[in-house]
Structure 1
Amino acid sequence: MIVLSTIRDCLDALLHPSARYDVLARARHRAFIAPRLLGSLTAFAAFPVYLAMHGAPTALGVAAFAWLIVPILLSWFLSRTGRYEGACLLSSLAFAGLIMTLASITGGVGSFAAIWLVVVPMEAAISASRRVVAFACALALVCVSLLIVLGHFQLLPATDVDVDLRAVLTAFGVASATLYAAGLAFGAELLARTSAGLLYTEEERYGLLAHNMSDVISRHHRNGAVRFISPAVEVLLGAPASRLVGYGLFDRVHVADRPAYLTALSEAARGGEAQSVEFRLRRDGQASQTNFIWVEMRCRPLEQVMPASRPSEAEVVAVMRDVTDRKNQEHALDLARTAAEQADASKTRFLATMSHELRTPLNAIIGFSEMIMQEDTLMLDAARRREYAHLINDSGQHLLSVVNGILDMSKMESGNFEIMPEPFAPKAALINCCNLLALKARESGIDLVTRAPDDLPAMIGDPRAFKQIVLNLVSNAVKFTERGGTVTVSAGIESTRLVVRIADTGVGIAADDLKRIGDPFFQAGTTYRRRHEGTGLGLSIVKSLVALHGGEMTVQSKVDEGTTVTVALPLTPQVAQPHSNVATLAPSAARPAIPEQALQVKKSA
């Protein structure tokens, strides 16, 4: 064992660096170098014995022994260059040359050396190179043909070997060639065993990798059929890998994503470049949209030893991984970005309209107050002064309502808005609100109809908030209804809830805007094309007040046909909606009523 280990170490020291880290290449280089060095060294060791027994060698003997230097040169060539095929080609050429020389001077094709030409292709077979084997076969056939031609035309030198010696030499040639062929067979078997061991090791290594990695490795035809898929797919899709072979995986691809899936495989097989595609795969279970996962697949053409005879036979190897979380995050970011853009656009529209909502009453206040200050110069009478004072008061009240709306919305968004619930009669509050807006409706040429049953029960809530809800909704209905239209306010009991409906025959709301009704600072229609004033906070405040009472608000509308707003409030207090950021409504002791004007002054303070 020590001797074999020493020999192996010496052979490894002679190997080219390119073959030292490849087990199969190292075994082939050893199989090439070892017998040639051993044969040459054995022949050189026997040369002195030959001289002692036969005396001075003949020219043939000197040439034969000199030829033994060639295997050493070939080993040196392979050790320095690492060109295994080149060394095998040179070895076949040198081996055939030695056999041709011996056969030419010992009887031609009938010589004992001619039998060794059979060994030339056998030796080349160990190289595992089709080019080397083809060259060796052609070389052996050329040598045999040349010996036959030279013998036929008697161009070979005459030999005086007797019949008995010729028979001995022939037997020696056959026996030595057989032994050498047997050695080649054992060498080929050893290389085959080494190759099989390496293949098993690699298969075990890649099998271990495929079983334990989270990514799915698959092999596809360019038409999408699966030839192999790793067991990791069982965790990914909850289905055994055997069911996905063929078109099993394709059947699970979302219908909308199948073109992209097939295109990526086809382009990877045809173009020779790596492709990447994202698509949805259905997991085992109910075939619903929520049961699909997003998968990223990177595919590239499979490098084969033999090129495919037809393009349709090209194959692709792919790696798939679950990217559902990333896609969900991207979707959430898109939604957040859209919401931020909408909020920014709404606030931009709000600031654009606020410049008008605040400037108009302030200009009126300043202008009419300056006129009153110059009453002597302008010779204003008492009636004109009262008119100007009334206009200043109206402008101040409008300005106060705008500021109160902004303050209320700010408190509601921060969760600091408080309401005080108490028992009250909703019918009286409803009629009172409609009476306050009756004059405005009459001046605008609009019929304001109020329908409330006499047996409408009392409810627990904040009467001030209830009035604010009704006033905002009825005021909006009157504002957005053209002259000659109708606004209908009705109330009734459904189950345990008070339902108030405000229906108008006004301009209506577009479907795209209807989705955002109730968002802070949002106004339906383009800001600079609107025919009606407002800050866009009215419905948002109403929506928040309804949520505080644990109620619901729905809006139905069609452009040029009208709008119906339905508010459903529980008769008894309930907890506010979980998503609301305002305080929870709870009953409290009755408190004295506060005049509406006093409430507005208190809020502004």
Structure 2
Amino acid sequence: MAVSRIIGECLDALLHPSARYDALTTARHRAFLAPRLLGSLAAFAAFPLYLVLRGAPTALEAAAFSWLIAPILVAWFLSRTGRYEQAHLLSSLALTSLVVGVAALTGGIQSFAAVWLVVIPIEAALSASRRAVTFAASLALGGAALLIGLGLFGVLPTPTAGAASSATLAAFGITSAALYASGLAYGAVWLARTNGALLNVEEERYRLLARNMSDVISRHNRNGAVRFISPAAENLLGTPVARLAEHGLFDRVHVADRPAYLKAMSDAARGRETGSVEFRIRRDVARDERGRPSAAEFVWVEMRCRPLESNLTTTAASNAGETEVVAVMRDITERKIHEQALDQARAEADRADAAKSRFLATMSHELRTPLNAIIGFSDMILQDDVLMLGPERRKEYAQLINDSGQHLLSVVNGILDMSKMESGSFEIVPEPFAPRPALLNCCNLLALKARDSGIDLVTRAPENLPEVVGDPRAFKQILLNLVSNAIKFTERGGTVTVSAAVEGTRLVLRVTDTGVGIAEEDLKRLGDPFFQAGKTYQRRHEGTGLGLSIVKSLVRMHGGEIEVQSQIDCGTTVTVSLPLALPAGSNVTTLNPAMPADSPAPDYQVKKSA
């Protein structure tokens, strides 16, 4: 063991630096160096013994022993240059020259040395190079043909050794050739085992990588059919890998994304750089008793594909449509969710910016108009001695100032209420109260406004309405905003109907008008702060756009629902459904604008009338 270790260390010291970074290349270089160096050194070591047994060598024998330095020179060439194939070519040439030379002087094709011609291609086989084997076989056959030809024409000298000596030389030639061939066979076996061990290690390494990496590696035909797919596909798609063979993967791709999937495969098969493609693919999330998928979902994946390198240079395979593609897929569902959240946040920011612009535009009008009236009429009253205003005119101006102040106060109160609701600081104080008197009181407050506008205000409230647990002030504010909006957006001669009824455990309020109605595209945004339906140049009625938004917030704080049905020029119906009793365990409710992820579905619905 110590001797073999020493020999191995010496061989490693002779290796060219280029052969030290790959285990298989190192093994081949060592298998080349070992027999040539050890064989030549053994022959030189046996030369003194040969002299003792044979006496002074002949010129032929001296030349043969001198030629044994050639393998050492070839080994030195490999050690210095690292050119493995060229070293094999030189070794075959040197061995053929030695064999042909000795055989030509010792009997031609019948010489003991001729059997070494068989060893030459066997030795070259260790190179794993067709070029080296072809060259060695050509040299061996050429040497044999040369010896046969020289023998037929009587050019070769007649051997002078006796029969016993010829037999001894023949035995020596056959034995030495057999021993050298055996050494080559052991070298071939050692290389094969080394290669197999390296392949097993490499295979286990890639198998470990394929099993534990989250990305899916797959191999496809040009039409996308799966030839191989890594085990990670089972975790990604929730199905055994065997079911994805052929078109099993394509069948799972979302129908809308299949053209992009096939285009990426086709482009990669043609050798084009496709970058990456994103598509949705079905994942099985549950299975029945028979193992069939019972529930599935679509997940987003990103796929990068490119042609196999082995097929890039195979023109015939490419022409036959056999070009294959290797693809790497990665789950990007979480990234897509983040992108959608970012897009939604960007849209919300845009809407907030637009709301701010609408707020400034609306408030500049809503605040300027009553302020102008207050300032103008108050100035006229101050100039009473100049204008000589009578008592009735001063009273009229004072009423106009009061109305403008009340309007201004309502605008400011609306803004303050909306601000409190959005910040979560608006509180309601629930208590039992009778809804019918509150409803009648609100309608009576707005009856004069309806009569002045030429609108019929109809109230339908059964006397047996039960008590409701809620905030009476908020209840009145809901009714006042809804009824005043209905009156404001109804033309003269129209009708506004306010009704109340109990349906199950809820009190249902309906405010119906025969007014201008709301367009379908505006229904979705109805209730947003400062939003007003219709384009600015089309509106016949102005306002702050806070009324319905405040109603929506107050209804939500009571745990209720609101629904709007409308049609242009046919009227609008707003339905508010409030629970008769708030949930037990809380007597104060605040609006939290930051809804948690597990919050119930929005309670604000919009519909277009049939």
Question: Which category of TM-score, normalised to the shorter sequence, fits these structures?
Answer: 0.7 to 0.9
Q: For 1:397-412, what aligned pairs fall within 5 Å after superposition?
A: 397-412=406-421
Superposition map of 1:224-235 within 5 A? 224-235=224-235
Aligned equivalent of 1:438:
447
Give the equivalent residue in structure 2 for 1:336: 345
Is 2:455 the counterpart of 1:476? Answer: no
Residue 295 in 1 paired to residue 301 in 2?
yes
How far apart are the structure 2 equivalents of 1:289 and 1:514?
35
* 1:336-365 Cα distance to aligned partner (Å, 9 max, x none): 222222222122211211111111111111
**Residue pair 1:222, 1:269 contacting (<8 A) in 2 also:** yes
Pair 1:281-2:282 in alignment = yes
Pairwise CA distance, 1:380: 2.9
Change (3 A) 1:65 1:449: same
Q: Name the residue aligned to 2:158.
A: 159
Say if 1:544 and 1:115 are closer, same or farther in 2 by CA, change over 3 A: same
**SS in structure 1 at match of 2:347:** helix
Deviation string, structure 1 residues 523-548 (Cα, Å, up to 9, x no partner): 22345653321111111111122223
Alpha-carbon distance in 2 for matches of 1:68, 1:219: 53
How has the CA–CA distance of structure 1 residues 191 and 580 changed in structure 2, closer, same or farther, with 3 Å as cutoff? same
**1:554 lines up with 2:563 in the alignment:** yes
3-state SS of 2:569 partner: coil
TM-score with structure 2 length normalisation? 0.86
Q: Which amino acid is 2:592 matched to?
A: N
The equivalent residue for 2:62 is 62
Distance (whole Å) between structure 2 residues aligned to residue 24 and residue 272 of structure 1: 34
Find 1:537's aligned residue among 546, 553, 560: 546
Which is worse superposed, 383-392 or 190-199?
383-392
Aligned match of 1:595: none
Equivalence map 1:587-598=2 (5 Å) = none
Cα gap change, 1:306 to 1:75, in 2 (>3 Å): farther
Separation of aligned partners in 2, 1:174 and 1:356: 117
Alignment partner of 1:144 is 2:155: no
Over 3 Å counting, the alpha-carbon distance change for 1:497 and 1:49 in structure 2 is closer
Query: Following the alignment from structure 1 to structure 2, what is the Cα–Cα distance between the partners of residues 122 and 579?
Result: 93
Q: How does 1:504-543 map to 2 (within 5 A)?
A: 504-527=513-536, 529-543=538-552
Distance 1:177 1:288, change over 3 A: same
Asked if 1 retains the 8 angstrom alpha-carbon contact of 2:429 and 2:589, the reply is: no
| Unpaired segments ≥5 residues, structure 2 | 288-292, 594-610
Of the structure 1 ranges 16-25 and 300-309, higher mean CA displacement relative to structure 2 is found in: 300-309
* Cα pair 1:268 1:275 within 8 Å, conserved: no
2:504 counterpart of 1:495? yes
**Paired amino acid for 2:64:** A
Distance 2:589 2:70 in 1: 93
Q: 1:574 to 1:42 in 2, by over 3 A?
A: closer
**Deviation per residue, 1:499-525 (Å, 9 max, x gap):** 111122333223332222222232223
Of 411-420 and 352-361, more deviation after overlay is shown by 411-420
Alpha-carbon displacement from aligned partner over 1:141-195 (angstroms, at most 9, x marks no partner): 33334444455555x4433446735555445434433332222222111111111
**Which amino acid in 2 is paired with 1:466?**
F
The equivalent of 2:371 in structure 1 is 362
1:428 CA drift (Å): 3.5
Matches within 5 A, 1:376-455: 376-455=385-464
- Mapped pair 1:581 → 2:588: no
Taking the aligned partners of 1:289 and 1:96, their CA distance within structure 2 comes to: 74
**Distance in 2 separating the partners of 1:571 and 1:31:** 95
Contact map agreement 1:254 1:282 (CA 8 A) in 2: no
d(CA) in 2 for partners of 1:189, 1:501: 94
543-552 or 377-386: bigger deviation = 377-386
The 3 A distance-change label for structure 1 pair 179 and 54 is: closer
Alignment partner, residue 597 of structure 2: none
1:125 aligns with 2:120: no
Q: Identity percentage over the alignment? A: 70
CA–CA separation in structure 2 for the residues paired with 1:323 and 1:412: 38
SS in 1 for 2:128: coil
Q: Which moved more, 1:159-168 or 1:346-355?
A: 159-168
Kept in 2: contact 1:447–1:484 (CA 8 A): yes
Cα–Cα, structure 1 residues 179 and 421, in superposed 2: closer, same or farther, change >3 Å?
A: closer
Alignment partners' CA distance in 2, 1:424 and 1:334: 45
Assess, with a 3 A threshold, how the Cα gap between structure 1 residues 51 and 578 changes in structure 2: closer, same or farther. Answer: farther
- What is the identity, as a one-letter code, of the residue corresponding to 1:70? A
What is the match of residue 199 of structure 1?
A: 199
CA shift, 1:454, in A, is: 4.2
1:565 lines up with 2:577 in the alignment: no
CA RMSD of aligned residues (A): 3.0
Q: Is the 1:506–1:561 Cα contact (8 Å) retained in structure 2? A: yes
The equivalent of 2:14 in structure 1 is 14
Amino acid at match of 2:556: A
Alpha-carbon separation, structure 1, partners of 2:295 and 2:536: 39
In the other structure, the counterpart of 1:314 is: 323
- The alpha-carbon deviation at position 489 of structure 1 amounts to 2.1
**Structure 1: which 5+ residue stretches go unaligned?**
583-605
Name which of structure 1's ranges 60-69 and 434-443 shifts more when overlaid on structure 2: 434-443
1:486 aligned to 2:495?
yes
Residues 285 and 291 of structure 1 are in contact (CA less than 8 Å); yes or no, is this contact kept in structure 2? no
Q: 1:452 to 1:542 in 2, by over 3 A?
A: same
